A and B are shown apart, each in its own frame.
Chain A
Amino acid sequence: MNRGCLCLLVLSLLWPGGWLAADGSESAQVSVQPWNGFWWPLVDGGMATGAARRRSEPEPVYYSDWERFFGPYDKYHFAFADTPRGDLWQWEMRHHYDPDALSWWGHCNGWAAAAVAEVEPTAPGELNGIYFRVGDKKALLTELHQGDGSRILFHSDEDGAHIFHQTLVQYIRDMDKALVVEIDQSEEVWNFPVFGYEMTWTDDGDTRHVATVLRLGIDSVAPDSTGTSFMTAEFQYDLELSGGDIVGGSWSGASHPQLLWDTVIRQAGNPHLDVDRVFTIVDSVLPAAKNGMADDGLEENDTPAAAAPLDGDVFLGRLLDDDFFSIPVEAGEQVDVAFYNQKIDADSQAILRHGSGEEITARVVEADRILMQAGTQTEDDTFLLELRAVAPQTNRRNYGLEVLRTGQSYYMPHLVNADGWQTWLALYNPTTVDDDLYYHFYHTEPGLVEKQQYTAQWPDLPAHWLVTGELAAFFPDITTENERWLKINTQQNLEGVFIFEHAQMGGNLASMPLLAEGARELYFNHLAVDDIWWTGVSIANTDPYLPAQVTLQPYHKDDASPLWETVSFEIPGGGRFINMLGAMFTPGTLAQAGWIEITADRDVVGFELFGTNDLALFEGIPLQHAKAKSLIAPWTPLTEGYWTGISLVNPSGGGTQVTVTPLNKRGSNAYGAFNPAELSFQLNAKEKYVNNVYSMFIDEFGEPPFGPIAYVSISSYREITGFVLYGDGAEIMCGYPLLTLEDARSAGRFAWLDGLALVVNAKPAGNRVYVTLEAYDAADNLLATGQSPEEIWIGSVHRLDPEEIWGAVPPGIAYLRWSSPQPLLVLGEVNQGTQATVIHSLSD
Chain B
Amino acid sequence: MNNRCVSRTVIIGLTWLVLAGVGAAAEPLPERWVVETIYPVLAVDHESTIQVRWLFEKMGIEHLDGRDWWQIRVQDLDERTPDQAEFLLDPAGGQIMTVRVREFRQGRWREYVSLQDEPRQWFLQPLGVMPLQFAWPGLEPGRKSRESNFIERVELGHGQRIRTEYHFQARRMPADKRAESAGPEARGDVMRLVITDPRSPNRSWHMTWRQDMPWWSECVTGAYSARVISINGEPVDE
Q: Which of B107, B110, B129, B199 contacts A176 (CB 8 A)?
A: B110
Q: Does A110 contact B (CB under 8 A)?
A: yes
Q: Which of B127, B202, B203 contacts A170 (CB 8 A)?
A: B127
Beyond the given pairs A162-B162, A176-B2, 9 more chain A to chain B contacts, judged by CB atoms under 8 angstroms and listed by A's residue number, are: A117-B105, A157-B202, A159-B200, A165-B162, A169-B160, A246-B161, A248-B199, A265-B50, A265-B80
- Give bound CA distance, A263 to B202, whole Å: 23
Establish whether residues B106 and A247, one from each chain, have CB atoms under 8 Å apart when the complex forms.
no
Establish whether residues B42 and A259, one from each chain, have CB atoms under 8 Å apart when the complex forms.
yes
- Which residues from chain B contact A96 at a C-beta distance below 8 Å? 45
- Give bound CA distance, A755 to B156, whole Å: 85
Q: Does A244 contact B (CB under 8 A)?
A: yes
Establish whether residues A150 and B44, one from each chain, have CB atoms under 8 Å apart when the complex forms.
no
**Distance from B34 Cβ to chain A, minimum over Cβ atoms (Å):** 15
* CB within 8 Å of A: which B1-44 residues: 2, 4-7, 39-44
Task: From B43, B52, B76, B154, name the one whose CB has the most chain A CB atoms within 10 angstroms.
Answer: B43
Q: Which of B48, B154, B158, B159 contacts A166 (CB 8 A)?
A: B154
Establish whether residues B76 and A265, one from each chain, have CB atoms under 8 Å apart when the complex forms.
yes
- Give bound CA distance, A155 to B52, whole Å: 21
Establish whether residues B50 and A247, one from each chain, have CB atoms under 8 Å apart when the complex forms.
no
Interface on A for B, CB 8 Å cutoff?
24-26, 32, 34, 42, 95-96, 101-102, 104-106, 108-110, 116-119, 146-153, 155, 157-160, 162-163, 165-166, 169-171, 173-177, 182, 189, 191, 242-248, 259, 261-267, 269
Q: Does B167 contact A (CB under 8 A)?
A: no
- Which residues from chain B contact A242 at a C-beta distance below 8 Å? 163
* CB within 8 Å of A: which B190-222 residues: 199-200, 202-203, 222
Interface on B for A, CB 8 Å cutoff?
2, 4-7, 39-45, 48-50, 52, 76, 80-81, 103, 105-108, 110, 112, 127-129, 153-154, 156-165, 199-200, 202-203, 222-224
Known: A110-B43, A149-B39, A265-B52. A175 touches B107 (CB 8 A): no
Establish whether residues A149 and B107, one from each chain, have CB atoms under 8 Å apart when the complex forms.
no
- Which residues from chain A contact B164 at a C-beta distance below 8 Å? 247
- Give bound CA distance, A158 to B156, whole Å: 21
22 A-B contacts (beta carbon < 8 Å): A34-B106, A96-B45, A104-B44, A105-B44, A109-B44, A110-B43, A118-B106, A119-B106, A119-B107, A149-B52, A155-B222, A157-B222, A158-B200, A165-B156, A166-B154, A170-B156, A175-B4, A242-B163, A265-B76, A265-B129, A266-B80, A267-B80
Establish whether residues A105 and B45, one from each chain, have CB atoms under 8 Å apart when the complex forms.
yes
Known: A146-B43, A152-B40, A177-B110. A267 touches B202 (CB 8 A): no
Establish whether residues A264 and B39, one from each chain, have CB atoms under 8 Å apart when the complex forms.
yes
Establish whether residues B222 and A152, one from each chain, have CB atoms under 8 Å apart when the complex forms.
yes
- Give bound CA distance, A182 to B44, whole Å: 12
| Interface SS, A side | mixed
| Interface SS, B side | strand
Establish whether residues A245 and B41, one from each chain, have CB atoms under 8 Å apart when the complex forms.
no
Establish whether residues A149 and B200, one from each chain, have CB atoms under 8 Å apart when the complex forms.
no
Establish whether residues B44 and A170, one from each chain, have CB atoms under 8 Å apart when the complex forms.
no
Closest chain B residue to A240 by CB distance? B199
Establish whether residues A175 and B6, one from each chain, have CB atoms under 8 Å apart when the complex forms.
yes
- Give bound CA distance, A108 to B44, whole Å: 9
Establish whether residues A158 and B222, one from each chain, have CB atoms under 8 Å apart when the complex forms.
yes
Known: A175-B2, A264-B39, A266-B81. A147 touches B48 (CB 8 A): yes
Closest chain A residue to B156 by CB distance? A169
Task: From A96, A171, A267, name the one whose CB has the most chain B CB atoms within 10 angstroms.
Answer: A267
- Which residues from chain A contact B128 at a C-beta distance below 8 Å? 151, 262
- Which residues from chain B contact A151 at a C-beta distance below 8 Å? 39, 128-129, 223-224
Q: Which of B50, B108, B160, B165 contacts A147 (CB 8 A)?
A: B50
Establish whether residues A24 and B223, one from each chain, have CB atoms under 8 Å apart when the complex forms.
no
Task: From A32, A119, A248, A264, name the one whose CB has the most chain B CB atoms within 10 angstroms.
Answer: A264
Establish whether residues A245 and B161, one from each chain, have CB atoms under 8 Å apart when the complex forms.
yes
Closest chain B residue to A264 by CB distance? B129
Known: A147-B50, A174-B6. A261 touches B81 (CB 8 A): no
Establish whether residues A106 and B50, one from each chain, have CB atoms under 8 Å apart when the complex forms.
no
**Distance from A573 Cβ to chain B, minimum over Cβ atoms (Å):** 33
- Which residues from chain A contact B154 at a C-beta distance below 8 Å? 166
Task: From B154, B164, B224, name the one whose CB has the most chain A CB atoms within 10 angstroms.
Answer: B164
- Which residues from chain B contact A108 at a C-beta distance below 8 Å? 44
- Which residues from chain B contact A243 at a C-beta distance below 8 Å? 163
Establish whether residues B45 and A264, one from each chain, have CB atoms under 8 Å apart when the complex forms.
no
- Which residues from chain B contact A259 at a C-beta distance below 8 Å? 42
Establish whether residues A264 and B110, one from each chain, have CB atoms under 8 Å apart when the complex forms.
no
- Give bound CA distance, A245 to B156, whole Å: 11
- Give bound CA distance, A110 to B43, whole Å: 8
Closest chain B residue to A118 by CB distance? B106
- Give bound CA distance, A101 to B43, whole Å: 14
Task: From B7, B108, B129, B159, name the one whose CB has the most chain A CB atoms within 10 angstroms.
Answer: B129
Establish whether residues A245 and B44, one from each chain, have CB atoms under 8 Å apart when the complex forms.
no
- Give bound CA distance, A267 to B41, whole Å: 9
- Give bound CA distance, A261 to B200, whole Å: 19
**Distance from B80 Cβ to chain A, minimum over Cβ atoms (Å):** 5
Q: Which of A26, A109, A166, A174 contacts B42 (CB 8 A)?
A: A109
Establish whether residues B106 and A117, one from each chain, have CB atoms under 8 Å apart when the complex forms.
yes
- Give bound CA distance, A166 to B197, whole Å: 15
Q: Which of A116, A152, A169 contacts B106 (CB 8 A)?
A: A116
**Distance from B195 Cβ to chain A, minimum over Cβ atoms (Å):** 13
- Which residues from chain B contact A105 at a C-beta distance below 8 Å? 44-45
- Which residues from chain A contact B158 at a C-beta distance below 8 Å? 24-26
